[in-house]
Amino acid sequence: MARPRFAQTSTALTIIILFLLMAASSMVTESSIDEKTTEAPTSARQGSLDVDCSGYKFEDLFDYNFASFDILLGDDWATAQMSAVAYVNGSNSATVRENLDELFDGTPGGNNSWMSTDEREAVRAIGPECIADMDTRLGIREGLPHRGGVDWNDLEFVKDGIALDEVNLVPANHPEERSCQDLLASSDCKEVPVTITDDLQILMFTKEDETHNVRFDQLPNSGSSNFTLALNVTNMSSAGLVLTFPQLQGLRMVNSSIQDDNMESTAMPAPVAEYLPDGRLRVTQEVSYLPSDYPAIRNLFLDFTTQAPETNEVPVWTAEAPVDGTVIPYTVGTRDLVAGEVTATWASDDSGWALECDFGEQMPADLWAAGLTEDGSLFLDGPEAPAADEVAEAECSVVDPFGAVSVETRNWSFAQPFTAEAVLSEAGDSIEFTVTPTGVVSEISISAHAHQSNSMGEMRMATIASDPSTIALPMDGLAPGMVMVMGQAQSNGMLDYAFMLDFGLEKPSAPPVIEVDVNLDGTNATWDASYLKFTLQGKVLDPDGESVEMSLSLCGYTTNDFVRSGPIWEIDVNIVSCSSQNPPVTVYDITLTATDESGTMTTMQVSVPDPYASGGDDTIIEPDENSEEAVPAASMMATLAVALLGAAVVSRRKDQ
């Protein structure tokens, strides 16, 4: 399908102006601020720009291989949050980079067959304005099922709620990367050829601190009557569409259809409707449009109602559900208590089900609430600081999306089975974990261990009845730093309680241990033949298992030229750095330093006697006969010969 050349549109012209202004603004110096000019301030001109991308669709700008669109309708039935991720691979990524580069034709670095980081930032800056002008291609209409292209309540983008980002548009450290060649480029600007085929992603989402990025005319009946939702999927080559509706009892999808040029089509699979554990309806649709389908106009229609189905089975509890009187344990500050894969086995209904819990007259009843989250986890909301022994009694029922309620109810008690505190042991090698039962259950079996994200200490177990008990949790094998207590509590009549408790504890770092080898003669150093350097060897270990860096200091100079193999180290020490010392060095005092990853340091002093000084006058170092040290003797003989010759000359003159 032919695509428009973006550089020829009013959108491109506007973006060009914006990019030029952004580039020019970076060149303003302090001295130029006071200069008078007839032009309007840069910021004012930027603020007045109106990027016009009317008529464009997401697919016109980004030739993706697959895209996911997630639309969450708001509880007000007038706004929505839309997120999109376009995955662009291989040759398509080169096409997208080329399109964006052409978009900046006439600007510094634009349309030069290179995609720069400056262009990338410009895309991020003007993206929300451009997308705001686009058509969402979504419409909604209340009433009987509707088909056709008129009388739709269109969903529109909201500029202030849109955020745009990308991944790998300009790959970092790419082999073909270079500094931007344009004189107006920013100082750190980098660019890559548009022809590279590195995969990239384009992301659209709701801006932080905003509640929506799409709006439409509020449905008069807030979805409680029949309505149809339509989507134009023309040119959406391969995509996944997810629609999530507000919680509304009885809402269901009753029909769907796909039309190509207003004719029924089977080009795409039927949508799938499901109810989330929190009671909301979610519809998923696989979308496809082959190049051979062009220029057919393809529309998807989804029909919804809140009318009860002709038949509806009542949801029922299963044998896996907690029985009456079960204690469901919780920790203050932890909302999700039981995982979704566990609660999914508690009840059964063909249309899905949710959990409703009534805390009755318990005070303060309005502060307690329990149910299922979107992923099915059992949650509990309650007071910020309930009493340790406070028990929240609830009567819970299973409810299906159409209001059918289970015949039986379950009475559960939400409670804290124990309170806990923890401190480091005096030696710092373990956690003293103290557990105090609250009396909710008669006896608790606890297994716990010191825990870090990638490692865990040895498990310890204890059975506790009514009195506090302290469990020592070893920290062997854990790295220095933050450490928590993780474990599980079990008791008759209580759901298994998995806990992760943060007491703000940190395992201290143990210092490295340095060892220096001793020779058979009792010395540490092995001198070479020149006696200008010696070798030290040994081992370095860290009790925490961290890596260790080593350094050596001698006569004010420091080096880290160690040869390392596991814990074994070796280093050649040159004494030239000590040659300028006055008085001369007779003992070389060496400082070895070992520093682990936590910054804990160990130093060790090693003294190496100078072999010349240790022997005194009794030690004679025989010089090599072929060495240059024999030259001074020859020079002395020559001097003596000259002196004798001079004396002979003087004597001879006197005789004359």
Determine the topology of domain 316-414 in CATH: Immunoglobulin-like (2.60.40)
Closest of 228, 248, 251 to residue 309, by C-alpha: 251
Closest of 85, 89, 84 to residue 65, by C-alpha: 89
What residue segments make up the domains of the chain, in order of their start?
Answer: 6-26+41-305, 316-414, 418-507, 513-616
DSSP string, 140-209: EEESS---SSSS-EE-EE-GGGEEEEEESSS-TT-TT-EE--STTS-TT-EEEETT----EEEEEEEPTT
Pairwise CA distance, residues 336 & 333, whole Å: 10
Average pLDDT per run of 10 along the chain, which is 656 residues long?
40 39 36 31 33 77 91 95 95 90 74 90 83 90 83 91 94 95 90 96 94 92 90 93 94 94 93 92 95 92 91 93 96 92 93 91 74 94 89 94 93 95 93 95 95 92 93 92 96 95 93 93 90 94 91 93 95 88 87 93 94 49 36 38 38 42
Q: Give residue 171's pLDDT.
A: 96
Determine the topology of domain 513-616 in CATH: Immunoglobulin-like (2.60.40)
Q: Give residue 129's pLDDT.
A: 86
Longest Cα–Cα distance in the chain = 155
* Contacts (Cβ under 8 Å, ≥6 apart) of 48: none
Residue 464's Cβ-side half-sphere holds a number of Cα atoms within 13 Å equal to 26
Q: How many residues does the chain have?
A: 656
Q: Does the domain at residues 418-507 carry the CATH identifier 2.60.40?
A: yes
Buried b (16+ CB within 10 A) or exposed e, 287-320: bebeeebeeeebbbbbbbbbeeeeebeebebeee
CB-CB contact of 26 with 186 (8 Å): yes
**Phi, psi angle pair for 295, to nearest 5°:** -105, 30
Radius of gyration (C-alpha) of the chain in whole angstroms: 40
How far is C-alpha 79 from the chain's CA centre? Answer: 30
Pairwise CA distance, residues 398 & 378, whole Å: 13
Pairwise CA distance, residues 608 & 587, whole Å: 6
CB-CB contact of 245 with 73 (8 Å): yes
Residue pointed to by tokens 């469901």: 328
pTM over 0.75: no
**Sheet architecture: strand order including 190-193:** 114-116, 190-193, 178-179
Q: How far is CA 136 from CA 81, 131, 132, 157, in A?
A: 12, 9, 9, 7
Q: How far is CA 287 from CA 214, 302, 432, in A?
A: 21, 14, 58
Residue pointed to by tokens 């801006």: 207
Closest of 146, 145, 62 to residue 100, by C-alpha: 62
Q: Give residue 310's pLDDT.
A: 84
Dihedral angle sign, alpha carbons of residues 87, 52, 217, 81:
positive
Q: Around Cβ 57, how many Cβ atoms within 10 Å?
A: 16
Q: Is 611 helix (H, G, I), strand (E, B) or coil?
A: helix
Q: Which amino acid is at 530?
A: S
Where are any strands of DSSP class E within 542-600?
548-554, 557-559, 563-565, 568-574, 587-596
CA angle 600, 605, 606 (to 5 degrees): 135
Closest of 508, 512, 592 to residue 546, by C-alpha: 512
Residue pointed to by tokens 């051979």: 292
Residue 301's Cβ-side half-sphere holds a number of Cα atoms within 13 Å equal to 23
Structural tokens at position 346: 């508690």
Running DSSP on this structure, what letter comes out for residue 617? G
Q: Around Cβ 410, how many Cβ atoms within 10 Å?
A: 21
Same fold, 316-414 and 418-507: yes
Pairwise CA distance, residues 282 & 453, whole Å: 34
141: β partners:
228
